[in-house]
């Protein structure tokens, strides 16, 4: 916010952004120029018409924070009007928006045009607000706008003080003609007042720069935090991949071990089967051998019986031969002569003939 000194009457113009080129012109009461004091609603209409004429596509958004800033601006406007009523000069105060408050005051002696427009800090806050809808940034922007409003109040009060000093200087001029030294003192006073205003504007610009750097630090911190989260997620992903890899290796080893156990089991079963088969084979061989041995024994027994039968038949044959021989010998001894037969027959009439017949029949039975 820049104020014009009363002695020089030069124009100081603080221009807002290129999109909004508003000019509020007011003329002091001494020169008979135009004084225009417009309310907040009129300034809103002028802002809308200006935005329509410039063809900018920015939309003025009225949030709750901007409404609070408008209310504080309207209160500050009322206080400014009271200051103007006491100083008997008509200062034009126009608020373009919640964040673009421009206070323009014109000195009563020179009638020069002072246009107070929002600084680059408010411009940056408006652009950042329109760019992102972050509540924290909009709050900081509203705080910066309140600070700029308070700075503008200080500038108005300093301007009224400088006007009082100028009026007292002009009164002293009417009563006592001051020398060139008093004029130099007046000029130095106005110069010092301008330097104070420049210092204040410098401080305001520093505050805006600090707020900008703070917002950038917040952005950097937010980006760093997101980067840490991404790094953490990537680390967890690597751990999960590592665990899955080891689990896969473990599953492969377990599968191989299971297959090995199956092979071992099958080999063991095959071995047992081979043993059983071998034992069965040996058993079959033993059975076969026993069967043949039994057959051999049977054949041997039959042959032995056959030999016994043959031996007995030979013995019987020899015995029969001996009996035949004894029979033939007995026949030879029995064959009597005809004389003895007659004697025998004659004897048979007796008791001893029966015994001879019996012996003969007995010998016949033995022969048979």
Instruction: Write down the pTM of the prediction.
Output: 0.23
Task: Dump pLDDT digits (tens) for 243-265.
Answer: 999 999 999 999 999 999 999 99
Q: What percent of the chain has pLDDT over 70?
A: 41
Residue 101 main-chain phi, psi, to 5 deg:
-90, 125
Cα–Cα distance list, 65 to 138, 236, 343 (Å): 7, 42, 192
Condensed to tens digits (0 to 9), the pLDDT of residues 99-154 reads: 455 445 444 444 445 544 545 555 665 565 565 566 556 556 656 755 656 655 66
What end-to-end distance do the CA atoms of the chain give, in Å? 182
Are 140 and 215 in contact by the 8 Å Cβ rule? The answer is yes
How confident is the model over 77-95, as pLDDT tens digits?
A: 554 564 464 454 456 445 4
Residues 218-247 have pLDDT tens digits of: 889 999 999 999 999 999 999 999 999 999
Nearest Cα to Cα of residue 43 among 108, 137, 118, 129: 118
Report d(CA 203, CA 1) in Å as an integer. 11
């Amino acid at each position: 916010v820049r104020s014009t000194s009363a002695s020089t009457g030069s124009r100081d113009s603080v221009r807002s952004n290129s999109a909004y080129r508003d000019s509020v012109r007011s003329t002091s009461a001494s020169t008979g120029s135009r004084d225009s004091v417009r309310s907040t609603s009129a300034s809103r209409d002028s802002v809308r018409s200006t935005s329509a004429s410039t063809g900018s596509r920015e939309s003025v958004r009225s949030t709750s924070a901007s409404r609070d800033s408008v209310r504080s601006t309207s209160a500050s406007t009322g206080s400014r009007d009271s200051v103007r009523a006491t100083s008997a000069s008509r200062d034009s105060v126009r608020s373009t928006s919640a964040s673009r408050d421009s206070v323009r005051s014109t000195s009563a002696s020179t009638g020069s045009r002072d246009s107070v427009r929002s600084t680059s800090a408010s411009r940056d806050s408006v652009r950042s607000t329109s760019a992102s809808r972050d509540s924290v940034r909009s709050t900081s922007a509203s705080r910066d706008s309140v600070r700029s409003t308070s700075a503008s109040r200080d500038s108005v009060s300093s301007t009224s003080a400088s006007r009082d000093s100028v009026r007292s200087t002009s009164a002293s001029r009417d009563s006592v003609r001051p020398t060139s030294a008093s004029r130099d003192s007046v000029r130095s006073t106005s110069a010092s007042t301008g330097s104070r205003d420049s210092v204040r504007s410098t401080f305001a610009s520093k505050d805006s720069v600090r707020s900008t750097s703070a917002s950038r630090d917040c952005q950097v911190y937010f980006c760093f935090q997101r980067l840490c989260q991404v790094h953490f997620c990537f680390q967890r992903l690597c751990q999960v991949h590592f665990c899955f890899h080891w689990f896969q290796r473990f599953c492969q080893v377990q599968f191989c071990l299971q297959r090995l156990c199956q092979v071992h089991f099958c080999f063991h079963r095959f071995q047992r089967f081979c043993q059983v088969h071998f034992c069965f084979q040996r058993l079959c061989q033993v059975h076969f051998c026993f069967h043949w041995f039994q057959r051999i024994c049977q054949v041997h027994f039959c042959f032995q019986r056959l030999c016994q039968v043959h031996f007995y038949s030979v013995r019987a044959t020899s015995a029969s031969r001996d009996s035949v021989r004894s029979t033939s010998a007995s026949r030879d001894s029995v064959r009597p002569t005809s004389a003895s037969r007659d004697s025998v027959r004659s004897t048979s009439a007796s008791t001893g003939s029966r015994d001879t017949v019996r012996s003969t029949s007995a010998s016949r039975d033995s022969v048979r």
